[in-house]
Amino acid sequence: MAKKKTSTQQLRGKEGFELYYHNIFKDRWPDLKEALLRENQSVAWKTYAEGKEYFLDIGSVCAALALPLEGASRILDMCAAPGGKTLVLASRMEEDAGLVCNERSRERYGRLLRVLEDHLGEEVRQRVKAICTDGTQLCLNKDNVYDRILLDAPCSSERHVLTSPHYLDQWSPARIKTLSVSQWALLSSGYRMLSPGGYLLYATCALSPEENDKVVSRLEKKFDDAEFMDTLPVLPSEHEQLFLQFLPTQELPIPEKTDKGFHILPDTAAGAGPLYFALIHKKEL
């Protein structure tokens, strides 16, 4: 006798999407869904006073600001395209620091190069190197060791799914499971490249805990030196004036605390997000 399909396996398409996320967010889901269908809150970011503006979600700015860069000389952006968070990191890094930004997709890599060329000042641009390779393989090169890593992992991006009849019709939980496997491969690669005492920021624009807390929580089981930061770092005072002259004029959203990280959700953040991020510290054992 054939086994019955589980309720999760039966969730597909528009109705399955609705039930899946209602089960996660309960009574909050209708308001959250309505907020996701509205235009998100974008802001203009400039890497220097006379620079060209780059528009990105203010939740992405908040996440990129959460990675502490004080004292970091080698910084990696593992999945950098289209380049918004890369610009925020480049704006903030110290004068002797270098930034490597990686993108696996050749097409998206081309877009990343154009963003860097259009939006970075010459002095900073000289300290930013773009590469095009598989982030899961970067850890195989023993010379790849970084003080700070940003991993903005490919994810379900439910906001885009909701606004696309094609993708909504094709939706299933299998997609989330597949993505979570890829996300863990990237995260474990990134963590192996992180130097002792360093910080890694994992981020997605996903709603499901399967792609967020449940991915990063695997680090605790795999590595004894991984710890999650419960509070967000404050911008270093000696660099505040440099940052503030380019920060968006809008007030940054206040993230909601999750088990392992933080979540910015548009129904309570004036349209910003969704943006999940977790800050991970590699302890010096």
Q: Mark the binding-site residues, compressed into ranges.
A: 79-85, 103, 134, 152
Question: By the 8 A CB rule, do 35 and 266 touch?
Answer: yes
Binding-site annotation: residue ranges for S-adenosyl-L-methionine: 79-85, 103, 134, 152
Token pair belonging to 91: 């704006």
How would you class 142 by CB atoms within 10 Å of its CB: exposed for 0-12, middle for 13-18, buried for 19 or more?
Answer: exposed
Q: Which of 62, 101, 155, 205 is an active site residue?
A: 205
- The residues near 62 (Cβ < 8 Å, ≥ 6 apart) are 252, 253, 255, 264, 272, 275
**268 and 257 Cβ atoms separated by less than 8 Å:** no
Query: Within 13 Å and on the Cβ side, how many CA atoms surround 205?
Result: 21
Instruction: Give 27-45 as a DSSP string.
Output: GGHHHHHHHHHSPP-EEEE
Report how far residue 65's alpha carbon sits from residue 262's, in angstroms, rounded to the nearest whole number.
Answer: 13
Nearest to 260 by CA among 203, 181, 179: 203
Q: How many other C-beta atoms can be found within 10 angstroms of the C-beta atom of residue 82?
A: 15
Q: Is 139 a catalytic residue?
A: no
**Beta strand extents in the chain (DSSP E only):** 42-45, 54-57, 74-77, 98-102, 128-131, 146-152, 194-204, 226-228, 256-257, 262-264, 275-282
Question: Which residues, including other chains, have CB under 8 Å from residue 244's CB and lie 6 or more apart?
Answer: none
* 42, β-bridge pairs: 57
Q: List, by residue number, the catalytic residues.
A: 205
